């Protein structure tokens, strides 16, 4: 399946228009590598007005733009805000200087930044000069350290990094993935429509098997965006994103298990084709006007089926890439 275009991605992709290579790209600063940015230095930490800090790069969390937010995520944010209010901000966010004089771009620490904004206080920030590649690596390393991205969030994060113009080697380094690991994420992001994923949510407790099962259902045309939305729209709005994914998969499986209506057609006189759920049968009368045709078809049917099968496999070859 073709790689998604930036215009084809919803929600998450709209925040990364300037995260890919640009004509005004910052030159890499060898004195500020990604790991060094994570470790930081005391002299680089400043207190900054949150209103001077703008968004940058791919969002790595589904909450904030999906219609389904995890209760755990919201509770976690409330706890974070309370902690900062009562004890101060202990861990600085990472920012870089913006091309706009006096402004900055957030690399990671969006939730801490949001909490400080809501509390009306300055945010403690580690200010580093980073090019896009180093910023992505720093973001990926920080994400790996806190290990709270769901499988689906990682899939969307990987997709938008690639859409922004970064190669697969960068994606793998940012997210700490093997080739097969990235392949699993790509299968999900390329086959599950983004708006369906947005409707489901991050599903933090659901791993690769469930998301892969949904991707395979789309590939096998057991479900499409329209039917997925029809199922999701009937679910209780109060359930978690994990439950939404589970119920969607169950309904797809249930619909696939329904016995289908048998079909009987007569393409020419004396020939009947019966199509059922488990088999297809052809019946040809050997007598009367059909006798000669029945004898010919009896002799040629094996080759006709072999030829038809070769034509089918030629246009439906398995893609192993």
CA distance 126 to 39: 9
- pLDDT of 192 reads 95
Query: Which 3 state secondary structure label does DSSP give 283?
Result: strand
Q: How far is CA 25 from CA 29, 129, 132, 175, 243, in A?
A: 12, 12, 8, 22, 43
- Phi, psi at residue 53, to the nearest 5°? -110, 125
- pLDDT of 224 reads 92
All residue ranges of the chain with pLDDT < 50 are 1-43, 63-72, 259, 317-321
- pLDDT of 132 reads 79
Which residue carries 């004396």 as its tokens? 270
Q: In what order do the strands lie in the sheet with 280-284?
A: 263-265, 271-275, 280-284
pLDDT digits (tens, 9 = 90+) for 261-275: 567 778 877 788 887
Per the rule left: phi > 0, alpha: psi between -120 and 50, beta: everything else, 176 is left
Three-state secondary structure along 179-240?
A: HHHHHHHHHHHHHCCHHHHHHHCCCCCCCHHHHHHHHHHHHCCCCCHHHHHHHHHCCCCCCC
- Pinpoint the alpha helices (H) of the chain: 34-39, 71-87, 110-119, 132-146, 151-163, 168-175, 179-191, 194-200, 208-219, 225-233, 241-256, 291-315
- Phi, psi at residue 298, to the nearest 5°? -60, -40
- pLDDT of 277 reads 67
Cβ contact 80:111 at 8 Å: yes
- pLDDT of 108 reads 84
Q: How far is CA 38 from CA 41, 89, 92, 138, 188, in A?
A: 9, 16, 10, 6, 30
pLDDT digits (tens, 9 = 90+) for 249-304: 999 998 875 545 567 778 877 788 887 767 888 888 888 777 888 888 888 888 88
Instruction: Compute and round to an integer the Cα radius of gyration of the chain.
Output: 27
């Amino acid at each position: 399946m073709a790689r998604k275009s930036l215009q084809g991605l919803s929600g998450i992709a709209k925040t990364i228009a300037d995260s890919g290579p640009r004509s005004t790209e910052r030159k890499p600063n060898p004195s500020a590598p990604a790991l060094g940015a994570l470790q930081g230095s005391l002299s680089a930490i400043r207190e900054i007005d949150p209103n001077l800090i703008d968004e940058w790069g791919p969002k790595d969390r589904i909450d904030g733009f999906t219609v389904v937010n995890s209760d755990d995520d919201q509770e976690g944010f409330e706890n974070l805000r309370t902690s900062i209010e009562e004890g101060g901000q202990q861990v600085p966010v990472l920012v870089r200087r913006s091309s706009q004089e006096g402004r900055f771009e957030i690399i990671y620490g969006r939730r801490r930044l949001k909490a400080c904004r809501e509390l009306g206080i300055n945010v403690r920030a580690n200010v580093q000069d980073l090019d896009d590649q180093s910023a992505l690596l720093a973001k990926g390393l920080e994400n790996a350290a806190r290990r709270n991205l769901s499988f689906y969030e990682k899939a969307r994060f990987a997709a938008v990094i690639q859409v922004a113009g970064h190669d697969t080697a960068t994606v793998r380094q940012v997210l700490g993935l093997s080739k097969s690991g990235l392949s699993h994420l790509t299968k999900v992001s390329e086959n599950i429509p983004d708006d369906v994923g947005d409707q489901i949510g991050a599903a933090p407790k659901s791993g690769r098997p469930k998301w892969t099962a949904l991707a395979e259902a789309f590939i096998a045309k057991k479900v499409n965006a329209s039917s997925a939305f029809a199922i999701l729209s009937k679910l209780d709005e109060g359930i978690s994103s994990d439950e939404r994914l589970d119920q969607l998969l169950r309904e797809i499986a249930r619909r696939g298990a329904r016995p289908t209506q048998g079909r009987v057609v007569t393409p020419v006189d004396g020939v009947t084709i019966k199509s059922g759920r488990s088999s297809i049968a052809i019946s040809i009368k050997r007598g009367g006007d059909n006798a000669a045709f029945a004898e010919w078809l009896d002799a040629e049917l094996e080759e006709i089926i072999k030829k038809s099968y070769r034509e089918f496999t030629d246009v439906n070859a398995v893609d192993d890439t």
